[in-house]
Amino acid sequence: METLKYLGKSLFSNQSIIDGRKRSCVWAFLFFILSVFVPWIPVLSTGYKANNAALLTSSSNAEVDVGFKAVFETGYFKTISFKTEKNQYVLDYSGLDAFAQPDSWAAEYSGTNTKELSSGTYRDDAAHASGYVSSPTGISEQYYFDAITRPTGNQIDPSSSSSSSADSSYETVTNQVVLESYYFPTLSMTDDNAPLYRSNFVNSIIFAKDSAGVLGNYPHSFALYTKDSVYIALYAVKASKSNSALAAYSGSVNDGTLNTTITNGTNLYQYLSDNATLSVIDVFASFVSFLHMAASPYAVYTIWFNIMVLTAAIVASMLIASIILIVLFKRKTSIDRKTNYWQVLKMSMTLSFTPCLLAMAVGFLNFTYGITAAVGFILIRAIFMSSKICPPVVQDDKPLYQARN
């Protein structure tokens, strides 16, 4: 009963923790384990239940769903198929060339292109990259481009405050882009410098950044497909020339087909539409599910990386709290200057449980707030213990002659 009383009072009583500093280390380790694991609960519960492609179904998805549904109805998209390379599923874009007009990038934006796609080649070197790119990879890749537009009357008004420039050739009175799709038939994210090449392509071609980082093009939501990956970035429909994305996504084609058996040549559209029996709305829903699976390994990695950061923050806070406590105990006014560091370390582990319990509740609202709450509450409680460890000195107000008596 005495031990249970001590454990219960330690949740709220600083004095109980101080009085129990010489108790068995078993209880301190119990509190340590609970303090570390309890804040994991919101990270695990929200992380594993989250839709990894939720940016496409969000009410603030910048109408990108309209763009994807339009893409699914194009002739070229229905030629994209699966194939296997190195025992993994990748996408085969060999059928896109029949739907492409070379070097018609501007015409594709303005809606005057004679074919569904524009084709081009981006060589990532000093001669072709924008001034913003400081480390060209030297890689040269062919790509296909499609601009999905909205009808007349929904375009950006160049004179409105939402636009920072009126000189863009593809924001016209009859055209507004809601999604840009880029396809790289031979680029793989497993290639050397492929992620850097993709980043340089975005900065040079999509954004046209100058050496100061100022965008030359309006940012639109875009999807960038390689053989083995899908990368999506969302931007507000009415946006200034800012490269601040609303959301971003990255997924692996092979991971999107987990627990699925696919033969070479299987059509991607038929795969999403269950052999062309579903409506375009259902195809979009299937595409979201595909992207959810495609991002699952990265999402799991992110969950455990966040847990590692959270655990490190909690343990570091305990150590800092123990330093605060040992300093307090070594002061002249402390209740026991003989207290050693091992004892204050046990106190630090014990006092952390209640702050971590509160941090768990905060963590359901926001992961970052949860970390801040854990660190802040642990240190605050350690500081509040100062009045118990070093009680204030009571002044004797008696006159000198009375004090001598």
Q: Which residues have a Cβ under 8 Å from the Cβ of 254 and sit 6 or more positions away?
A: 88, 89, 90, 228
Which amino acid belongs to residue 258?
Answer: L
Whether pLDDT at 155 is above 50? no
Long-range CB contact pairs, 377-381, < 8 A, 24+: 378/314, 378/317, 378/318, 378/321, 378/351, 378/352, 379/317, 379/320, 379/321, 379/324, 380/355, 381/14, 381/321, 381/351, 381/352, 381/354, 381/355
Quick one: pLDDT at residue 275?
Answer: 84
> Which of the two residues, 173 and 232, has the higher pLDDT score?
232
The CA dihedral of 307, 313, 315, 320, to the nearest 10 degrees, is 180
Which amino acid belongs to residue 178?
Answer: V
Quote the percentage of the chain above a pLDDT of 90: 62
Whether pLDDT at 173 is above 60? no
Which amino acid belongs to residue 383?
Answer: I
Quick: pLDDT tens for 377-400. Answer: 999 999 999 988 988 766 656 665
Whether pLDDT at 358 is above 90? yes
Tell me the domain boundaries of the chain: 2-46+301-389, 54-294
Quick: pLDDT tens for 231-274. Answer: 999 988 765 666 688 899 999 999 999 878 888 889 999 999 98
Whether pLDDT at 160 is above 80? no
Low-confidence winner among 153-162, 313-322, 391-400 (lowest mean pLDDT)? 153-162
**Alpha helix (H) residue ranges in 143-267:** 194-201, 253-256
Which amino acid belongs to residue 222?
Answer: F
Specify whether the CB–CB gap between 258 and 248 falls below 8 A: no
Whether pLDDT at 70 is above 50? yes
Report CA torsion sign: 285, 110, 244, 301. positive
Quick one: pLDDT at residue 405?
Answer: 52
Quick: pLDDT tens for 301-317. Answer: 999 999 999 999 999 99
